Structure 1
Amino acid sequence: MRARLACGLSSCFKALLSGALLAAAVVPCQVMAEEGASSHYRPGTLSSRINKIPPRQSVNVYLDLSEYEGRSRSGLSIPLAGLTVNDLNITSQTYSMNVIWNPGVQLKGGWQYAMAIALPYSSVEISASQEHNTQGHRLRDWDSGLGDIVISPLMLAYSLSEYWLTEIHFNLYAPTGGFEAGKLANVGKNYWSFSPVAWLQYIEPITGQEFTVSGGIDWNTKNEDTDYQTGTQMHVESTLIQYVPLLWGFTGIGLSGYWYQQIRSDSGSGAVSGNVKAKAVGLGPVLSYQTKWSGRSVRAELKWINELEARNRPEGDLISLKLSAQF
């Protein structure tokens, strides 16, 4: 048993290290800024077992409660809803209701089909200094409401072996959140994003290891109100957890991290900052818990991600709590 546990841990750590080295190898030397110094992708929220397709005909409902607090480097110019600001401080909370439906349809080749929707309610508070403001007054603004809905009309899952699973998600971010040009804080982006994400997951129930890695690309349409098109972005996430029997279920502790970078420059007349792109790297601990309640699978996950590096975007911390139940 101990030998098998050590072997499983060694395999997972090797896979995690390989993923990190691969991500570092493909990062070019040029640093990569998106409009508002953020994108539809929320770093550190994808690589989780809670996000995966249910294994059989069922509905997985989960709440995703997250808070991000960050600030930009002094003097860094940031395009924000038609404005150009610097010394930006941002605090945002997102409360998202997510539903993943597996109708029990098995496609040719053994692939399972599912679809999902995420309904976020967001609150954002921003303070910043406006460029060329000689009086030195800081601008402050706050907004809350329905954010940009995420629709996943096509999700595919396939079992590679007893312990290895793969999934492909096609995510569509719709501009349903409020946006007003010239306003410092907006809960919506006012543009569409198309994001295919590929997953690979290892689950060993006997020794209790769980390893997940995901990679995706985001293509964005133009924000017509500001004539700003945020460039294409890439992101890689990974989570490694070790579970032990505890508290009437299984409790796990592990590590989660992400790498995010723009691979194409912003464009349009609103992109006044020139050929700059955004980059961020984050790492932090994760606590997970799973059990059965009234015959249903119930999970919880608490994650803290500290951004170790950020260029041309704010740098800060993300705290995320996810609660899920399968019906």
Structure 2
Amino acid sequence: MEQSLKHKLVIWPHAGRHAVAALYAGVALAVAVPSALADEGGVSFWLPGQFSALAAVQVQPGWSLPLFYYHTSADLGGSKQIPRGGRGRVAAGVDAEADLLFAGPTYTFGEPLLGGQAAVTALAAVGRMAVDVDATLTGPRGNTISTGVSDSLKGSSDLYAMATLKWEHKDVHNFMVYTMGNLPVGAYDPDRLVNLGLGHASMDVGGGYTYFDKVNEFSVVTGMTYNWENSDTDYQNGIDAHLDWSASRFISPQTHFGLVGYFYEQVTGDEGSGAVLGDFKSRVRGVGPQAGHFFAVGQELWYVSLKGYYEFDARNRAEGWNTWVSLIIPLGKYE
């Protein structure tokens, strides 16, 4: 058995493409993380960097369990303001950190759908987020001015669902469409400075492409987010556009290195009586390194990866850095 597995690992770049690529199902999950990033309360539905290596490649049918640890550290200069805490409250000098652990059971269907491969994912997280604010200013609903305010919260996120459909063409060209949304049931209070739930529903749709010749990989995924109004705060985030990309090379059958990046741009303004700063359109860019490694556990190949992003060119949102550690566990082949 050990000899057979070793052989499978060694020959992978030239055969067994789908067997190992199955582990990337979890790497390409779209997950919305409440962090100090954009829109109302510094929270956007789409977290830039959600898609990365081999995003559009078909995978081995069956169950898999992606686990993600995500850390972000971001700040907004004291001269800049952001809607935070609801009730028309505006915060300045925001410094935020978040640590979250996600689990996203994924099922990939064995039977083709419209000539492609379909998969569905359910996702949720537990974690902690903390925010320090230099000043909170009075909003139109009578909030008082305060300085040196801190808030932290431990809890669970909203529930998220995603569906993907992938096609392969001539071995190296791969295409994908996806849709995702959330059920706003996470820890949320409109009067808090920090929340792990969004407080509103959102939907994101998009598509992607991966070039993969079994050694070199390039992926790009783009999409747009529509946000429904937060009825607690009378605030509706604008429509967001985003693009994630990855470029990597396998230096051995088990290990790859490369770069990742993202572009995020809000294309329509925020609305509602709670949007006291006007349309508040935001943007940010990010780039950083990535590395991944396959390793054997029994007869299965697991996958671990590390990637990080340095953010720049931010407007109307905090910027900083974030790190992802992923572990993808195959749970069984499709029968």
Normalised-by-shorter TM-score class = 0.7 to 0.9
Q: Does 1:163 align with 2:172?
A: yes
| Cα distance between partner residues in 2 of 1:53 and 1:228 | 38
| Cα distance between partner residues in 1 of 2:283 and 2:274 | 20
Contact 1:53–1:102 at 8 Å: present in 2 too? no
Q: Does 1:35 align with 2:40?
A: yes
| Cα distance between partner residues in 2 of 1:172 and 1:223 | 15
| Cα distance between partner residues in 2 of 1:274 and 1:89 | 22
Contact 1:213–1:237 at 8 Å: present in 2 too? yes
Q: Which amino acid aligns with 1:308?
A: F
After superposition, the CA RMSD in angstroms is 1.8
| Cα distance between partner residues in 1 of 2:93 and 2:60 | 49
Contact 1:38–1:313 at 8 Å: present in 2 too? no
- Residue from 79, 85, 91 that aligns with 1:75: 79
Aligned equivalent of 1:144:
154
Aligned equivalent of 1:271:
275
Contact 1:54–1:102 at 8 Å: present in 2 too? no
| Cα distance between partner residues in 2 of 1:53 and 1:325 | 17
Contact 1:81–1:226 at 8 Å: present in 2 too? no
1:7-22 alignment to 2 at 5 Å?
none
Contact 1:53–1:100 at 8 Å: present in 2 too? no
Contact 1:53–1:114 at 8 Å: present in 2 too? no
Deviation by residue 1:144-198 (Cα, 9 ceiling, x = unmatched): 211012111x321111221111111111122121111121111111111101131
Cα drift, residue 47 of structure 1: 2.1
Unaligned runs of 5+ in 1: 1-32
| Cα distance between partner residues in 2 of 1:301 and 1:180 | 34
- CA 1:86–1:317: 2 relative to 1, 3 Å: same
Displaced runs of 4 or more, over 6 A: 133-136
| Cα distance between partner residues in 1 of 2:120 and 2:56 | 11
Aligned equivalent of 1:10:
none
- Residue from 229, 240, 254 that aligns with 2:247: 240
- CA 1:54–1:120: 2 relative to 1, 3 Å: farther
- CA 1:271–1:45: 2 relative to 1, 3 Å: same
Aligned equivalent of 2:301:
297
1:83-94 alignment to 2 at 5 Å?
83-94=89-100
Cα drift, residue 136 of structure 1: 6.3
Aligned residues: 287
- CA 1:134–1:168: 2 relative to 1, 3 Å: closer
Q: Does 1:130 align with 2:139?
A: no
Q: Which amino acid aligns with 1:96?
A: F
1:204-283 alignment to 2 at 5 Å?
204-205=213-214, 208-245=215-252, 250-283=254-287
Unaligned runs of 5+ in 2: 1-37
